[in-house]
Amino acid sequence: MATSAEFEAAAQRAQQLPTKPSNTVLLQLYALYKQASEGDVSGDRPGGFDFKAIAKYDAWASLKGKSQDDARQEYVGLVDSLFQGA
């Protein structure tokens, strides 16, 4: 299980990736980070033409029920894999 310190370190490392990940990976990073730090998504799904906000909300909502510990572990693993693949 990833500790809070490992999670925070991974969040800092994610800001320093040598290449920008695909939008799919960016959404995965966002969703895992939010799930790990805040838990299940709350509030209403954005409407209208704010497609970026809708995509982010949907990505986070797809993780509903995942524990914060599991999300933290997956986030750290994803960031590590992005550095290994770079």
pTM: 0.94
CATH number of the domain to which 23 belongs: 1.20.80.10
Q: Which structural domain range is residue 13 located in?
A: 4-85
pLDDT given at position 85: 74
Residues of the chain with confidence (pLDDT) below 70: 86
Question: Mapped to the 3 state alphabet, what secondary structure does the chain carry?
Answer: CCCHHHHHHHHHHHCCCCCCCCHHHHHHHHHHHHHHHHCCCCCCCCCCCCHHHHHHHHHHHCCCCCCHHHHHHHHHHHHHHHHHHC
Number of domains in the chain: 1
pLDDT given at position 86: 64
pLDDT given at position 55: 97
pLDDT given at position 1: 86
